[in-house]
Amino acid sequence: MRRAVCPGSFDPITNGHLDIIVRASRLFDEVVVAVGINKTKATLFTIDERMDFIRQAVRSHPDSPTNVIVDTSHGLLVDFCRVRGVQSIVKGLRAVSDFDYELQMAQMNNSLAGVETLFMSTNPQYAFLSSSLVKEVARYGGDVSGLVPDIVLKGLRDRSAS
Ligand code: ADP
């Protein structure tokens, strides 16, 4: 089975992430979305909330792919790949500024475990989009509808109302 992993913090998932996940699901038998657990990084949403948002966003997408699964990962991504039988990492590239770091990581992961990284160009519609920017705009009452799945929009509204 050809399996790929889409790793990230997904705090929260944006339409940019979702676009990459759904496009990857057309190329692989199975796509595992690996939500990273990093105890040193403060997040707005809990791991369960982030996973639930991803599952619901994938389900509500017009393609509604059935070959996407959501899991957690901690430690090295290549260890996750080994345990889960994943051969490829799929990353979205937004701009040249993403490239240096992503290239370095791809080369490290390949030298550690022979895992391949495939870069997918971001849908230009979402090239400016990041989870941190979405959180900042939402925090100050800006409209992020159209940039995040509906379930995330609701989550952000609930969070700022509390
Ligand atoms: P990290 O935890 O590495 O900061 P994120 O959760 O923000 O990562 O994003 C995970 C991955 O999703 C990124 O490494 C990138 O490959 C991809 N990504 C993030 N934002 C976008 C976007 N707007 N369009 C396409 N891909 C994106």
Check residue 40 and give its pLDDT: 87
Mean pLDDT (the chain) is 96
User: For position 70, which CATH number holds?
Assistant: 3.40.50.620
| 94 Cβ closer than 6 Å to some ligand 1 atom | yes
What is residue 60's predicted lDDT score, i.e. its pLDDT?
98
Residue of the CA atom closest to atom 17 of ligand 1: 92
Give tens-digit pLDDT for 26-82.
999 999 999 999 888 899 999 999 999 999 999 999 999 999 999 999 999 999 999
Please state at what angle helix 131-139 crosses helix 150-161, rounded to 10 degrees.
50
131 is catalytic: yes
Domain count, the chain: 1
Positive or negative CA dihedral for 65, 95, 90, 155?
negative
From the candidates 50, 91, 94, 135, give the one annotated as an active-site residue: 94
Domain that holds residue 59: 3-161
162: pLDDT strictly greater than 80:
no
154 is catalytic: no
